Amino acid sequence: MTVEAITFKGQPQAARPIEVPISIAPMMDRTDRHYRYFMRQVTQHTLLYTEMVTAQAILHGDRDHLLGFTAAERPLVLQVGGDDPALLAASARAAADFGYDAINLNVGCPSDRVRSGNFGACLMAQPDRVADAVATMMAASPLPVSVKHRIGIDDLDRYDDMVRFVSTVAQTGCRHFTVHARKAWLQGLSPKDNRTVPPLRYPEVHRLKRDFPHLWIEINGGFTRLGQVTEQLNRVDAVMIGRAAYDQPYLFADVDLRFFGAAGGPGLKSWSQVRSRPQIVKAMLPYIDHWVGQGTKLNKLTRHMLMLFAGQPGSRQWKQILTAASGQPGAGVEVVQQALAAVLRQGEIQAQLAVEAQPLGVGGEGFRDPGKGVDVFVGAGEGG
Ligand SMILES: Cc1cc2nc3c(=O)[nH]c(=O)nc-3n(C[C@H](O)[C@H](O)[C@H](O)COP(=O)(O)O)c2cc1C
């Protein structure tokens, strides 16, 4: 089995808009290249982000390892963390060299480690410094530069504080701001608590869009259904989804059709079709085979796929087989095939049970229990 163009290193390209109405958030230890390739089998058009990579690491680390990706992952944004304009400029150049579509500066991460390096959310208190950094990044590469930030930090959390931050940074010409719609407490709350404890304040993000209609304002935080995305798009330009995209990857199966008017996967002919979960698994097989052949442990690839069948018959078997067998030495693509066969078997059993449960006289064509029938493998699972 082969996969075309496993690592993409494109030529520097002219900035083109990354004005995409829905994106999957940057998430450390989650949105690595394997997760992104997997999500590309679910949705072709959603904007994807890398995990945050520090500008220091880009300067000193193994760039191919840190920045390499597969062409199919595009449109793709590199998220960087840092506060040193020269390092950030070098990162922007590297992003362009590797063929990323845009670069994003992290001004939202509240972790101690990040704060001790003076980057992430603590930079919200230094809008001029962020503006300098963004201006240098914009001058260093043709890629669009965006900023991901919070509503505020600590006591700097009034709407006017956010306006000062955004208007200062926007003076550089930066047009794209992604707002995680809750403040961060830099003292006393863990990064995890900082994603749940401070309340969500969507109206302030909506107000930001009203006050800065020329900016591309993307809202983030707490969205779990596509219906919410549709609602938000009446008030802002885009919606970014993080945890729900990881915990329910199939949520995104409807996205292309719903927000881009396009079919949900390569090779699908009709706009009315969405890739089924088994089709997504099958589309992953050549990719998995390639990486396992390169010495990557199978579980580094399959760990991102564990939730694909969440809420479906066979989900337990899928996770059990993948978890137990993917870490074994020599485990390869056959483990995934075996797990898929178990899911399909479970689906057939459930379908059979549904048929047997039909009341006498009703049976025959077309009757399916929508909660249990064979339809479980077709269409999107989210509803929205
Ligand atoms: C495990 C994890 C890692 C994260 N890593 C990053 C990161 O590297 N950069 C960043 O800007 N935000 C990071 N975030 C925050 C998300 O991008 C997002 O802003 C946050 O989860 C809120 O969106 P959600 O409610 O849709 O998950 C992370 C979140 C999680 C759960």
Task: Examine the domain organization and report whether 252 and 352 are in the same domain.
Answer: no
Task: Examine the domain organization and report whether 218 and 342 are in the same domain.
Answer: no
Asked if the bond preceding 191 is cis, omega within 30° of 0, the reply is: no
Task: Examine the domain organization and report whether 231 and 293 are in the same domain.
Answer: no
Whole-prediction pTM: 0.89
Q: What is the CATH number of the domain that holds 43?
A: 3.20.20.70
Q: How far, rounded to the nearest angstrom, does the alpha carbon of residue 81 sit from its chain's CA centroid?
A: 17
Give the pLDDT score at 372.
33
- Residue 305 within any structural domain of the chain: yes
Ligand 1: residue whose CA is nearest its atom 4 = 27
- Residue 125 within any structural domain of the chain: yes
Coil vs helix vs strand at 66: helix
Give the pLDDT score at 348.
86
Task: Examine the domain organization and report whether 205 and 246 are in the same domain.
Answer: yes
Residues 140-199: pLDDT tens digits? 999 999 999 999 999 999 999 999 999 999 999 999 999 999 999 988 889 999 899 999
- For residues 112 and 189, what is the distance between their CA atoms, to the nearest angstrom? 10
Of all atoms in ligand 1, which is nearest to the CA of residue 148?
A: 11
Task: Examine the domain organization and report whether 236 and 299 are in the same domain.
Answer: no
Instruction: For ligand 1, pick from 195, 226, 251 the residue to mutate: most ligand atoms within 8 Å of CB.
Output: 195
Task: Examine the domain organization and report whether 247 and 313 are in the same domain.
Answer: no
For residue 109, indicate whether it is catalytic.
yes
Task: Examine the domain organization and report whether 181 and 294 are in the same domain.
Answer: no
Distance from the alpha carbon of residue 218 to the mean position of ligand 1, in angstroms: 14
What amino acid occupies position 114? V
**308: CB partners within 8 A, 6+ apart:** 249, 250, 277, 280, 281, 318
Distance from the alpha carbon of residue 200 to the mean position of ligand 1, in angstroms: 14
Residues in the chain with pLDDT < 70?
A: 1-17, 262-273, 359-384
Task: Examine the domain organization and report whether 218 and 133 are in the same domain.
Answer: yes
Both structure tokens of 277: 């979960």
Both structure tokens of 341: 């066969």
Domain range for 79: 22-260
The CB density around residue 160, as the number of other CB atoms within 10 Å, is 9
Task: Examine the domain organization and report whether 283 and 233 are in the same domain.
Answer: no
DSSP state at residue 197? S
Task: Examine the domain organization and report whether 235 and 309 are in the same domain.
Answer: no
Q: Which of 232, 260, 288 is the last residue of a domain?
A: 260
Ligand 1: residue whose CA is nearest its atom 10 = 26
- Residue 98 within any structural domain of the chain: yes
Contact 220, 25 (CB under 8 A): yes
Domain count, the chain: 2
- Residue 130 within any structural domain of the chain: yes
**Ligand 1, pocket residues at CB < 6 Å:** 25-28, 30, 51-52, 79, 106, 108-109, 148, 180, 195, 220-223, 241-244
Distance from the alpha carbon of residue 220 to the mean position of ligand 1, in angstroms: 9
Give the pLDDT score at 13.
43
